[in-house]
Amino acid sequence: MKKTFVAMLLAVVMALTMVSGALAEETAAIKVGLIGPMTGDAASYGVSVAQGAELAVGEVNALGGVQLELNVQDDEHDPEMSVNAYNTLWDWGAQMIIGTVTTSPCIAVAAEAYNDRMFMLTPSASSTDVIADKDNVYQICFTDPAQGSASAQYIAEHGLATKVAVIYNNADAYSTGIYQTFEAEAAELGLEVVAVATFTNETTDFSVQLTQAREAGAELVFLPIYYTPASMILQQAANMEFKPIFFGVDGMDGILNIEGFDTSLAEGVMLLTPFSADATDELTVNFVTNYEAAYGATPDQFAADAYDAVYTIYAAVNAAGITADTPTEECCDLLIEAMQGLEIKGVTGTMTWDATGAVTKTPTAVRIENGVYVGFDVSAAAEAPAEEAAAE
């Protein structure tokens, strides 16, 4: 995998060297902005993304070809702050944006970027609203519809449960987006959704939602939510001795890194993610080793998405022949064109993109055992929805 990738990159780099040789040597770096929550509730995602991206930029620059300069801005997972961060990057002269990390801010920034003709590649904002009607926004992660339907398919195919409860955050576009497609797919597959309970951002007491799920006889509770509320749900479920299977999506990733969290509470929790740090292919092993050496932590899916995002940008920049002098608007059109022809073998799978900006790749499911992820292969279950999402 790694070899093909490197070979492909080398070919592109060589091609570019010939071009730039004619244009005289470029020394200035291409300015890449990155927006994500470095502080606040969702900081775990943002920090992972920034670290994954920095690692990849370091590697890319060491290749000696096109140089990238990364500028990381904090948005605290807040749409207004995110637009401010975007404006800061615009003033700085960013030619393209990696971000934003979370869905709600990303929708706000994508609208601005569309008007300004700034190319955006989000590592992890997975709602279809992020890319809808905007030709300049692309995703590394697979979309919410793909996550919702892939989860339902996985549960049905593996016979995990027939009675399913859902607890989701009604104030969050990510959470509601996944819930809607999950529900639709569950109905088709004959899964019985026995209870649907909602909460909002301020909620800390989940006793009512959990009681409703238990009273309805749910064998599995689907949690299309972020990890902070999920940690409270697991704790409170344990307190009331309610022990269904808990099934999460990529937002659950990060739960094991909460300081002081009793990982035994997450024992048996399953989640759908495109990246598994214990995969044995050369690309993943290299990434995990280098990441651990640099940051002293095992990379999560967000770090992996960001790592792939930088390599995607790098490949697209090379393919489009962009230099540090290319104006932002021109970069946007060139990159959009380049994205269509790319096939990137990254740590989160092999990715291709269609004109909507949605990615096609294969998610896998992992189960938490003894405080670590243990991988599953669900390629058969997830192939179809990923394609469906791409077709939408």
Partner 1 sequence: MTLFLSYLINGISLGSIYAIIALGYTMVYGIARMLNFAHGDVIMVGAYICFCATQYLGLPAVVGVLVAMVACTALGVTIERLAYRPLRQAASLAVLITAIGMSYLLQNLALLIWGPNPKSFASVVSIGSISLFDGALLISGETIVTVLANIVIMVALTQFTGRTKMGKAMRAVSEDRGAAELMGINVNHTIALTFAIGSALAAIAGALLCSSYPTLQPTTGSMPGIKAFTAAVFGGIGSIPGAMIGGVLLGVIEILGRAYVSTELGDAFVFAVLIVVLLVKPTGLLGKKVSEKV
Nearer to partner 1, 77 or 134 (CB): 77
Residue 204 lies near partner 1 (rule: CB under 8 A): yes
The reply on whether position 264 binds partner 1 by CB under 8 A is: no
Q: Which is nearer to partner 1, 25 or 241 (CB)?
A: 241
CA distances from 45 to 123, 168, 223, 306, 357 (A): 10, 19, 18, 10, 22
3-state secondary structure (DSSP) of residue 177:
helix
Cβ of residue 240: shortest distance to partner 1, in angstroms? 6
Say whether residue 17 binds partner 1 (CB under 8 A): no
The span from the CA of 120 to the CA of 107, in Å, is 11
Nearer to partner 1, 254 or 385 (CB): 254
Exposed (0-12), middle (13-18) or buried (19+): which is 329, by Cβ within 10 Å? Answer: middle
Does residue 16 touch partner 1 according to CB under 8 A?
no
Interface with partner 1, residue 64, by CB under 8 A: no
Decide: is 40 part of the binding site for partner 1 (CB under 8 A). Answer: yes
CB nearer to partner 1: give 228 or 352.
Answer: 228
Number of residues that bind partner 1 (CB under 8 A): 36
Burial tier of 64 (Cβ tally within 10 Å: 0-12, 13-18, 19+): exposed
Residue among 61, 71, 87, 228 that touches partner 1 (CB under 8 A): 228
DSSP H or E segment with residue 302: helix 301-320
Tell the smallest beta-carbon distance from residue 182 to partner 1 (Å). 18
Cis-peptide, bond into residue 181, ω within 30° of zero: no
Q: Is 241 in the site for partner 1 (CB under 8 A)?
A: yes
In DSSP notation, 319-338 reads: HHT--TTS-HHHHHHHHHHH
Dihedrals φ, ψ of 357, to 5°? 100, -5
Q: Tell me: does residue 209 bind partner 1 (CB under 8 A).
A: yes
| Pairing label, strands 119-122, 96-98 | parallel
- Given 32, 164, 197, 358, the residue binding partner 1 (CB under 8 A): 197
Min. distance of Cβ 204 from partner 1 in angstroms?
4
Q: Does 211 participate in binding partner 1 (rule CB under 8 A)?
A: yes
Binding positions for partner 1, rule: CB under 8 A: 38-41, 43-44, 170-171, 197-200, 202-205, 207-209, 211-212, 215, 228-229, 231-232, 235-236, 239-241, 258-262
